[in-house]
Structure 1
Amino acid sequence: MKTLVKYLLAATIALPAGTAVAQDVTTLNILMPLPRSSNFYPLLVGEALGYFEEEGVAVNLLPSSTTIPYVAFIQNGQADLAMLDAPQTFQAAAAGVDMKVLYEGMQRAPEGIAVAGDSPYQNVAELKGTTVGLVSDRDRVTLGISLDAVGLTLDDVTTVVVGEGGPTLANAIQNQTVSAIAGAVPDWLAVQAHGLAIRLITPEEVEDTPANSFVGATARLEELQKPLEGFFRAWSKGMYAAEVDPDFVAAVSKAAVPEEWENEKFGREFLDASIPMNVSVTELSGDLQPEVWKKVQPPMVKQGAIDAEIDPATFLDDRFIASANDWDHAEVEAEIKAWRDANM
């Protein structure tokens, strides 16, 4: 927390944000964990079908590789929106940052616990007394929360940091050096790329965690109301495309980020793994879930991911949810078909 506060105090040089670059077009500066990627395909689809342009919005993704907390860029005005995971959101709220969660971009966590496809372990409770691998030390929290969900603690297992990389992870599982691995979707894909089938045994309580939510500065929400309404509506349309036609989304992704498709099999597996994380579990796309934000906090406090619980009402703001869902599904379906007819 002290580190976060230090960065927030230091990040005082503001750059123009939410700038109109042409008549009726507003550029939104957005900070996300990755550059354009299949992992966030709603952006790719929204751009391919012209949804952001229709809303008078141009998306400028800021460099994501930084050691400065993303919320600092929201506070100093360099970013109009930033994607934060749940711990980052709680830490920012506890530090007194005047920001709001506006839209849940990913309502299911990419982190989890994986075992070999033919492993005898069927659930996390059966890992008691075994050695569990961590892709990196940051995955200790994921493992701790998973164990807590079944009444165990980190003291009930032995942990070892296995390291990143498909061959390293695959060898650890194949050689039975570890019973399971705590990591995330990119790690599972890297393992599968080396010919090893895996199976997830992540407790549902861990999966149902807001993974990446769009956050904005409270003081700027009225100023940016129209472009933010347009951005979230375009994002929701892009999200829906995967429910209509995943092959269309794959074609859009391949054209937009060909570097992720140099290996066709990996590219499709990466997209297929990303779709369930992006498609909202709530009836309304991106809807806020106060009960979930409250439920996930006690395990995080236990694992030291956050210092104390905080009332979700202090940082959730659903003013954009209705407009984000105000569009015609049939129209989107027709536009997907038209794109397919012209490009596939």
Structure 2
Amino acid sequence: MVALLALTACSGSEADDADGAGGGEVASEGGDDAGADAGDEGDGGGEPTTITLLSPVPPSVFFFPAFVGEELGFFAEEGIELEYESIGEGVSMTSLLVNGRVDVAAPGATEVFQGLDAGQEFDVIYDYYTQAVEGIVVPTDSDIESMEDLEGATVGLAGDEVRSLLAFSLDQVGLSIDDVETANVGTSGSVIANSLEQGDIDAFVGGVLDFASLQVAGLELRDITPDEVGRVPGASFAVTPDGAEEMGDALPAFLRAWSRALHVGLQDPALVEEIMREASPEEWEDPEVGAATLDVAIQLQEQGPEDYGSLDDEAWAVGVEQALVAGDVESELATDEFLDGQYLDAANDFDRDEAETAAGGSGS
């Protein structure tokens, strides 16, 4: 079974003392369990290799391949025992990664940049989300067709943290944040929907969960985020050089199992729902919210079918530029110094039809 652990909030220096939920020690301390022997396990012989994945969220449709892959036996077939850890508020994922407390972390682009800017050593090896998790939307019946049309408009913000996204996106089309009015409207779907419908705001800047709540409130949306900004990956897999070396063949085996599960889930969202209703029942307490959240999760992960995890150098370069404008980093970061695509061929080395057959012929 996928082991579920949780990390409580701690700073980078405190990370060495972090324990898993229930008092169990966090796996892979110092990387000793990181699995240099995985190459001998993929054929089903011997003990599986444990890989600890650090996610920003508890079990969720946003990371469904962990649970789909477990249910369908993909990780076991690759000789991997996956431990899925989530973090408490205020935890630096990359600090836990570089301190050897987890094998693979799934930080967003901003945290990647902040960690690298602080001198942490790790590589991004697989883009899991192919889109940004935040964006700018308007109702589908709005006269606003693009960012250029926002001049003189009132834009609602989910919070101050998305102001830099709005400013950067406006800058891409020759406008500045001074060319619009802004208002903090929070994240209540019904409140935001009413504000848009009544014309109190003309557009909204928020995150994918905010957009899902708007859909549940009955509001159809159109995304006007500039393409180059919307392509900045919302979540990627990162490893340290030492951790990757210690994991050995277990690392590409983990990525291949993940890609297989991702492929099956994208082909058959109904299967994802069935599995995630068991793995994350709280997301389905309101079936409408669960369905909307699943739709958003599928959209974020849409990719392939031949290049799962592909690293988009141009999108990452835009992300670096955005981080500089936002003040998240102090100096330019060269993408070729932290993007490492050496595992992508192995991650995609599987038969798509066989993966679908394992799921009961989904997608066929």
TM-score, normalising length: structure 2: 0.85
Question: Following superposition of structure 1 onto structure 2, how do residues 197-208 of structure 1 map, counting pairs within 5 Å?
Answer: 197-208=220-231
Q: What is the match of residue 99 of structure 1?
A: 122
Q: What is the match of residue 330 of structure 2?
A: 307
Q: What is the match of residue 215 of structure 1?
A: 238
Q: What is the match of residue 142 of structure 1?
A: 165
Match among 9, 15, 27 for residue 50 of structure 2:
27
Of 259-268 and 276-285, deviating more is 276-285
TM-superposed deviation, 1:253: 2.4
Q: What is the match of residue 157 of structure 1?
A: 180
TM-superposed deviation, 1:208: 0.9
SS at match of 1:62: strand
| Residues 250 and 13 of structure 1: CA distance in aligned 2, closer, same or farther (over 3 Å) | closer
Q: Tell me if structure 2 keeps the 8 A contact 1:148–1:299.
A: no
Match among 307, 320, 343 for residue 284 of structure 1:
307
Q: Tell me if structure 1 keeps the 8 A contact 2:113–2:328.
A: no
Q: What is the match of residue 133 of structure 1?
A: 156
Amino acid at match of 2:172: A
Q: Tell me if structure 2 keeps the 8 A contact 1:108–1:207.
A: yes
Q: What is the match of residue 119 of structure 1?
A: 142
Mapped pair 1:56 → 2:79: yes
Question: Following superposition of structure 1 onto structure 2, how do residues 1-344 of structure 1 map, counting pairs within 5 Å?
Answer: 7-13=11-17, 16-17=27-28, 19=33, 23-280=46-303, 283-337=306-360
TM-superposed deviation, 1:204: 0.8
Looking at structure 2, the residues matched to 20 and 113 of structure 1 have their Cα atoms a distance apart, in angstroms, of 40
Looking at structure 2, the residues matched to 299 and 98 of structure 1 have their Cα atoms a distance apart, in angstroms, of 21
Looking at structure 2, the residues matched to 13 and 248 of structure 1 have their Cα atoms a distance apart, in angstroms, of 38
Of 162-171 and 22-31, deviating more is 22-31
CA shift digits 1:24-80 (9 cap, x unpaired): 222222211211111122222111101111122222222322312111101111111
SS at match of 1:160: strand
CA shift digits 1:96-155 (9 cap, x unpaired): 111111111112112111112322211121111122111011111221222122111111
TM-superposed deviation, 1:339: 8.2
TM-superposed deviation, 1:302: 2.0
Which structure 2 residue ranges, 5 or more long, are not aligned? 1-9, 19-25, 36-40
SS at match of 1:31: strand
Looking at structure 1, the residues matched to 238 and 353 of structure 2 have their Cα atoms a distance apart, in angstroms, of 29
Amino acid at match of 1:150: V
Of 183-192 and 171-180, deviating more is 171-180
TM-superposed deviation, 1:254: 2.6
Looking at structure 2, the residues matched to 283 and 145 of structure 1 have their Cα atoms a distance apart, in angstroms, of 32
Aligned length, in residue pairs: 335
Which structure 1 residue ranges, 5 or more long, are not aligned? 1-5
| Residues 173 and 98 of structure 1: CA distance in aligned 2, closer, same or farther (over 3 Å) | same
Q: Tell me if structure 1 keeps the 8 A contact 2:15–2:101.
A: no
Looking at structure 1, the residues matched to 91 and 68 of structure 2 have their Cα atoms a distance apart, in angstroms, of 29
| Residues 252 and 234 of structure 1: CA distance in aligned 2, closer, same or farther (over 3 Å) | same
Of 234-243 and 290-299, deviating more is 290-299
CA shift digits 1:6-36 (9 cap, x unpaired): 9445544486505389952222222112111
| Residues 128 and 166 of structure 1: CA distance in aligned 2, closer, same or farther (over 3 Å) | same
Q: Tell me if structure 2 keeps the 8 A contact 1:301–1:309.
A: yes
SS at match of 1:106: coil
Q: Tell me if structure 2 keeps the 8 A contact 1:39–1:274.
A: yes
TM-superposed deviation, 1:285: 0.9
SS at match of 1:189: helix
Identity %: 35
Q: Tell me if structure 2 keeps the 8 A contact 1:132–1:179.
A: yes
Q: What is the match of residue 23 of structure 2?
A: none
| Residues 216 and 130 of structure 1: CA distance in aligned 2, closer, same or farther (over 3 Å) | same
TM-superposed deviation, 1:287: 1.9
Looking at structure 2, the residues matched to 279 and 121 of structure 1 have their Cα atoms a distance apart, in angstroms, of 26
Q: Tell me if structure 1 keeps the 8 A contact 2:123–2:238.
A: yes
Q: Tell me if structure 2 keeps the 8 A contact 1:87–1:305.
A: yes
Looking at structure 1, the residues matched to 349 and 221 of structure 2 have their Cα atoms a distance apart, in angstroms, of 40
Q: What is the match of residue 22 of structure 2?
A: none
| Residues 304 and 38 of structure 1: CA distance in aligned 2, closer, same or farther (over 3 Å) | same
CA shift digits 1:281-339 (9 cap, x unpaired): 68411022223322332233223233222111211222221111111111112112268
Q: What is the match of residue 3 of structure 1?
A: none
